[in-house]
Amino acid sequence: MNIDFDFLKAKSASISFQNPIQRTEFLTEMDVEEALSGLGQGCKNRITDLSNFVILQVLQTDSLQYSFELKTKASAEGRAHLDKRIAAAKAADVKVSVDWESDTKFNLTLNTTLTVGYKTAGLKFQAMTPAAFTAAKKRMAAGAGS
């Protein structure tokens, strides 16, 4: 879905989940390090490049709401532009709706299955001996149980 808001300048924006989270997945840095051994050198270089980041946690939801507060009142032209974009999204079978609370506040709700990556990290790895790696993994497992 491609809905831009260049024509409506936002003062603030927030995101909320309308329904309970369906699923969440979490990777530890140790999970990533363990997987590195099976990757080609190009992938390893990209993952460990500190100018990149790795998404460590994602969640899945079936509804997401964006709430916007505009800097100024929405013009008729701005509302028409948004309505046109919403209609195009619906024509592409995206379940989206807009609810205006006032001339400066509106909510955009997506009712479709979405996967959201929200916890990122720049990863830097140190080489470990197999024994040190096994010991660190045991410490993590013991800490997770408490």
The more confident residue out of 109 and 143 is 109
Domain residues for 63? 10-144
Is residue 108 within 8 Å of residue 3, measured between CB atoms?
yes
Evaluated on CA atoms 86, 88, 90, 95, the torsion sign reads: negative
With 70 as the cut, is the pLDDT of residue 115 above it? Answer: yes
DSSP structural state of residue 139: H
Largest distance between two CA atoms of the chain: 67
Is residue 96 one of the residues assigned to a domain?
Answer: yes
DSSP code string of 49-67: -TTS-EEEEEEEES-EEEE
Number of independent structural domains in the chain: 1
φ, ψ of residue 72 to 5 degrees: the values are -135, 170
Give a yes or no: residue 5 inside a domain: no
Percent of the chain with pLDDT over 90: 12
The pLDDT value given to residue 7: 59
Q: What is the pLDDT of residues 39-60, one digit of tens each?
A: 888 888 887 787 887 788 888 8
Classify residue 4: in a domain, yes or no.
no
Model confidence, pTM: 0.59
